[in-house]
Amino acid sequence: MTTNYRPQLKSHALIGLIAIAFVWIFPFRAVFAACMLPVPTASCEFLNSDAVFVGTVVSIKVAPARGDEYAGWLYNLKVQELFRGPHMKTIQVFTEASSGEFPLDREKTYLIFAYEYNSRLEITNCGNSCPLSNARPALRELQKLQIPKDAVVEGNISLLGDPNAAGQRKGVGGVRITVRSDAASFNAVTDRAGWFHVHVPPGTYSARVEQVHDGKIVPWGLSEDPSYFEARGALRRSPIR
């Protein structure tokens, strides 16, 4: 689920209590305006990105406001390892001077997940972009990733009090999710951490979380209405390496 800009469950471990939980579905790319919770996995973000690479910053340039974008910075990075995107020795990315900015330091190396917007690659402080020194878990995930030929719908169900409060989220396992199109339906069950992953053919879908006894499903942080969204095939993106 995307835009070009940026469930209450009763747990067996919390008898007599009803907490809030939420579902976030990521069919094909991240959003720019605000960071959603939970953060997508590196594999999910890879499948939704237009460029994923390890690069070292070689130059920085101030960029004026353009169209509906704020001013910001343009960075040229020398590519050390390319996972997805243009086959170039140097890739330029932009980050705008806003709450979503992800400023880079000259001569420092980063793992970058970038998205094409307004004819250039953009980066934000949402997702898995980070200095290379912090990127080992994401790199391990990328190196063992097998590219699916279909689309992937991914999300998370968690118990929490305040969706914005760090450390309060607890994944809910064993919850059934149905992703349905006019032609077929696909089911998944959340794992211990509350994650679910559904492989589907590209197309238009709705997603439904089964109701929980004595509980209520309350969505939070969705970037698009789960009753109608598009799942795009990964092979529409640039090929890996």
Structure tokens at 100: 């979503």
At residue 119, what is the residue type? S
pLDDT of residue 82: 93
E strands in 99-219? 109-117, 120-122, 130-131, 151-160, 170-171, 176-180, 185-189, 195-200, 203-209
What is d(CA 77, CA 92) in angstroms, rounded to the nearest whole number? Answer: 6
Domains of the chain: 12-45+146-236 (2.60.40), 49-143 (2.40.50.120)
Confidence category of residue 102, pLDDT binned at 50, 70, 90: very high
pLDDT of residue 207: 86
pTM here is 0.60
Q: What is the pLDDT of residues 23-70, one digit of tens each?
A: 444 443 334 445 766 678 888 888 788 999 999 999 999 999 988 789
Most confidently modeled of 55-64, 152-161, 208-217? 55-64
Structure tokens at 175: 């919850």
Asked if the bond preceding 131 is cis, omega within 30° of 0, the reply is no
What is d(CA 208, CA 177) in angstroms, rounded to the nearest whole number? Answer: 6
Q: How many CA atoms lie within 13 A of 130 on its CB side?
A: 12
Other CB atoms within a 10 A radius of the CB of residue 99 amount to 11
Which residue has better confidence, 105 or 35?
105
- Average per-residue pLDDT for the chain: 76
pLDDT of residue 222: 57
pLDDT of residue 216: 62
Q: In degrees to the nearest 10, what's the CA dihedral of 140, 142, 146, 147?
A: 170
What is d(CA 21, CA 157) in angstroms, rounded to the nearest whole number? Answer: 6
